């Protein structure tokens, strides 16, 4: 009499097929930035904006954060070093027309009294996104979903 069940060979074939399918799925879903990368990028931008505001108030001179959307990097007055954001992070900059340098590069300016030109930087990857807002009147920097 033959017993019911699967042979060892059949089980191994199913496991190999499952492993190949899993590696294919992981390779496609690995594109873009993780939620932690997005949050870290939003926090880095907010910190840079707050530093630019503090610099403007301390030196009594205008200071600004300049964002290069294509290169995914930013710099701010008082720190010439460019800060690079993670791969897979998409950026959009909404700012005053006077602060636009090119189609893919612009700034948010802070004035000596703490106010700013205002603006928004959208940090996204796929459906996930964070909004880094700068209030023009108070210069307050906030991060929202």
Q: Is residue 74 part of a domain?
A: yes
Flag whether 25 is in a domain: no
Mean pLDDT calculated for residue range 19-42: 78
Residue 12, domain member (yes or no)? no
Domains contained in the chain, number: 1
Q: Is residue 14 part of a domain?
A: no
Mean pLDDT comparison of 25-34, 81-90, 109-118, highest-scoring range:
109-118
In a domain? residue 20: no
* Domain membership flag for residue 93: yes
Higher per-residue pLDDT: 1 or 143: 143
- Residue 59 resides in a domain: yes
Sign of the torsion formed by the C-alpha atoms of 25, 26, 31 and 35 = positive
Distance CA 113, CA 102 (A): 27
Whether this prediction's pTM lies above 0.85 is answered by: no
SS3 assignment, position 145: coil
Region 47-60: mean pLDDT is 94
């Amino acid at each position: 009499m033959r017993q019911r069940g699967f042979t060892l060979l059949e089980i191994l074939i199913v496991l190999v097929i499952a492993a190949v399918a899993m590696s294919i799925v992981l390779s496609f879903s690995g594109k873009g930035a993780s939620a932690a990368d997005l949050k870290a990028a939003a926090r880095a931008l907010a910190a840079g904006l707050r530093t630019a505001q503090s610099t403007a108030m301390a030196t009594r001179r205008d200071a600004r954060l300049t964002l290069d959307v294509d290169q995914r990097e930013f710099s701010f007055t008082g720190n010439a070093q460019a800060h690079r954001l993670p791969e897979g992070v998409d950026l959009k900059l909404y700012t005053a027309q006077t602060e636009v340098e090119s189609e893919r590069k612009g700034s948010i300016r802070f004035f000596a009294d703490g106010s700013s030109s205002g603006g928004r930087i959208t940090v996204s990857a796929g459906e996930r996104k964070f909004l880094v807002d700068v209030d023009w009147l108070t210069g307050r920097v906030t991060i929202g979903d």
